[in-house]
């Protein structure tokens, strides 16, 4: 559903939407990109960072806290993209 909304806004069919999530000990980072099917040009649609919890030295020590951090980061990204 989200890619279709972005594709229609762009007016181009077949745009490829990709999302990357980086889980770190200090922050969870999310980036959303769109790749144009004909040109291959990649555009960053949004990127956000949220403080992380439940991750120490790159290891998940609390699944609940780490999951909450990821959810907050995704919600922040959705708000930034106005979805």
Report CA 58 to chain centroid distance, whole Å.
19
Distance CA 80, CA 66 (A): 21
How long a stretch of residues is the chain? 83
Q: Is the pLDDT of residue 3 over 70?
A: no
**Residue 14: C-alpha distances to residues 62, 67, 68, 72 (Å):** 39, 31, 32, 29
Say what the pLDDT of residue 11 is. Answer: 55
The CA distances from residue 45 to 9, 25, 41, 53, 67, in Å, are 12, 25, 12, 26, 23
Among 28, 32, 26, 68, smallest CA distance to 47 is for 32
pLDDT digits (tens, 9 = 90+) for 35-83: 887 788 888 888 899 999 999 998 999 999 999 999 999 999 888 888 7
């Amino acid at each position: 559903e989200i890619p279709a909304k972005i594709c229609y806004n762009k007016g181009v069919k077949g745009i490829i939407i990709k999302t990357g999530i980086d889980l770190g000990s200090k922050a969870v980072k999310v980036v959303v990109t769109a790749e144009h099917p004909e040109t291959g040009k990649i555009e960053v649609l949004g990127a956000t960072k949220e403080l992380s919890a439940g991750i120490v030295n790159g290891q998940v020590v609390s699944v609940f806290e780490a999951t909450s951090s990821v959810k907050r980061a995704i919600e922040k990204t959705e708000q930034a993209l106005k979805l």
